[in-house]
Amino acid sequence: MKVLLICLILIAINANVNAEYKSYLNYKLYKVNPKNQDDVNTLKEIQNNGIGEFWNEYFRPEDDVRIMVEPSWENIFLERLKEAKLEVKLIFNNLQEIIYKQKAPRQAGTVRSANSFFSLDWDDYYDLEQINHWLDELAEAYPNIVTTVVMGKSVEDRDIKGIKIDYHPERTDKKIGFLEGTLHAREWISTATITWIVKEFLTSSDPDVRAFAENLEWHIFPIVNPDGYVYTFTGNRMWRKNRSKTNFTSCGANVNDDMSNGVDLNRNFDFVWMTVGASNDPCSNLFAGPSPASEPETQAISQYVLELSDRGEIIYYIAFHSYTQMFVIPFSHVASNQMLAADNYANMFEIAVRSAEKLSQRFGTSYSVGIAANVLYPMSGTSFDWVKNYTNTRISYLIELRDMGEFGFLLPASQIIPNNLEVMDGLIEMDKTTKLLGYYTTADASKIFYSLSVVIFGLMAILVV
Ligand SMILES: [Zn+2]
């Protein structure tokens, strides 16, 4: 009887999981290049009518726009494009197949690369539990260097877990580095990049990597949106937001209501919130939340980074996203002609350009560099802008990783290691340039200016007295 009951419960749980899993069977992925504003408007109309699910949140003329179309909408979608004389290219015939391929365990007998480190390697993508377990393994193996840290809880009460890597706990003048991974759930390459950097920090004998690892106290969080990340494994591979259900609403005839069960965490930070490139519609992928910093994940990151900022100087805050291969520099809400808004914009630009150049040398992968208005689209309420504005962080980037849209969010696992190798090259060059510009000796231009001003004002005050 007991066994039967357990069986029934298991069947019920299983049925429930299956019922929730969104299949992309026979969904097609199309690419459309709008040539002018009319074309853009046609695509916006298609988007607003829920005829396709767009990978690009914003698009302009000449952009590569990628659109997933479910089988029942296919004819209407193609008909509408034909009417508007827009060319369309079929990229994938069955998206679910690409999703399976990305998650499928390798066939027995496949040779693993020699790059495994404890229970992780970079031949596959790993889920939250596996990543968190790996972090525990590192803390156990390197007790004097690695400590696990929980910065807070997610909406569904999961730990937001990371590690601190500190080779010099005795140091008093702390220089700090922070790596933020997977704020957007479906951008799996972000997690795989950060875990690789951790492995390099702990194992590399390259003097430049050693300097990068040991000169800073590192705070590294591979997955800051754990609920969303879990949901990309169990519910919907294409999920972007967190899993807050407090704004649940009906999303209209053509959009699944589940779309309203989440806030875009990279629009939720309390800096110029909801001013540009964000939405107040819970059914949008860009939903900024009901109020600034409404989400526990946003609050946890903000609080944690503020505390770090009190303890030392944050040299780097790097948020890893995908896809489109770019270094984005603060601030993201400003127009092109306001690009100098961040105090050390010129330095951040130079550092990123040199980093991108170095990155491209290994495999020819090309990254662009600039503020969001120039390379992406203006946006507000992002984490890396918030950090730059409210803490002492010197260099803050949002890095969009591979690729340019060939696979987009579904980057094959075979590209993880090439991606990681080139990104590491770029980061090492970044650190060398940062050092050259004097950031480690606390003598960057704005600081000298600030110190001089203090001295001059001080002298004036003395003279006046
Ligand atoms: Zn993202």
Per-chain mean pLDDT for the chain:
91
- Residue 20, pLDDT > 50, answer yes
In angstroms, what is the span from residue 325 Cα to ligand 1's centroid? 12
In which element (H, E) is residue 5 found?
helix 2-20
pLDDT confidence of residue 16? 42
254 confidence band (pLDDT: 50, 70, 90): confident
Instruction: Delimit the CATH 3.40.630.10 region(s) of the chain.
Output: 128-446
pLDDT in tens, 401-424: 999 999 999 999 999 999 999 999
In angstroms, what is the span from residue 408 Cα to ligand 1's centroid? 11
- Residue 157, pLDDT > 50, answer yes
Q: Which tokens hold the place of 309?
A: 């900022």
Q: Domain 128-446 carries which CATH code?
A: 3.40.630.10
Specify whether the CB–CB gap between 285 and 228 falls below 8 A: no
Task: Pick the catalytic residue from 70, 400, 422, 429.
Answer: 400
Instruction: Delimit the CATH 3.30.70.340 region(s) of the chain.
Output: 24-102
- Residue 10, pLDDT > 60, answer no
In angstroms, what is the span from residue 130 Cα to ligand 1's centroid? 22
109 confidence band (pLDDT: 50, 70, 90): low
Cβ partners under 8 Å of residue 236, min gap 6: 21, 22, 258
In angstroms, what is the span from residue 185 Cα to ligand 1's centroid? 8
**Catalytic residue flag (residue 406):** no
Mean predicted confidence (pLDDT) in 245-267: 94
Q: Which tokens hold the place of 13?
A: 């749980």
pLDDT higher at 340 or 9: 340
pLDDT higher at 250 or 11: 250
In angstroms, what is the span from residue 445 Cα to ligand 1's centroid? 32
In which element (H, E) is residue 42 found?
helix 37-48
pLDDT in tens, 57-66: 889 999 999 9
Q: Which tokens hold the place of 377?
A: 């689209």
Q: Domain 24-102 carries which CATH code?
A: 3.30.70.340
pLDDT confidence of residue 460? 56
**Cα distance between residue 385 and residue 345, in whole Å:** 12
In angstroms, what is the span from residue 182 Cα to ligand 1's centroid? 7
Mean predicted confidence (pLDDT) in 136-143: 98
In angstroms, what is the span from residue 389 Cα to ligand 1's centroid? 20
Beta bridge partners of 396: 317
